[in-house]
Amino acid sequence: MAHTISEVMTPDPVCVSGQDSVAAAAKKMADYDIGDVLVTGAKGELIGVLTDRDLVVRAIAKNLDPKTTTAGEVCSPDPVKVSPSDTVAHAVELMRDKALRRLPVVEKGKLAGIVSIGDLAVREDPQSALAEISAAPPNN
């Protein structure tokens, strides 16, 4: 059983700049077959998380132009985050208490990775239905 986030996180998360367009962020999500990207500021600091739901609710539903609307304008700012040395139990508690599916991993102000509920399921309970779904290859 893994004990720290560093043991279960996905390193090198997919990121976009806060100045990148929503269209560019959506393309990155499609290219990587993921439902979110981390949004960074001018110095590479984490400023938010942009999910596929954010794209729909905060951009498309409001008829914002995806080519001119920036990721920084529609992302969820100030995300809850964990450090690589935090325990898996702490991450699970945060996800449960705040109804989150993913947590950015930050160390000394720099992005170190991301951990998702699927990562935890695959690592901690590989026989669970969620682990099986998370480990399945994508349907393209």
Alpha-carbon Rg of the chain, whole angstroms?
Answer: 15
pLDDT digits (tens, 9 = 90+) for 21-41: 999 999 999 999 999 999 999
Q: Average pLDDT of the chain?
A: 88
Q: What pTM value is reported for the model?
A: 0.84
Q: What is the mean pLDDT of residues 82-97?
A: 93
Tell me the CATH number for domain 5-134.
3.10.580.10
H/E run at residue 10: strand 10-11
| Residue 79 predicted with pLDDT over 50 | yes
Predicted local confidence at residue 49, as pLDDT:
97
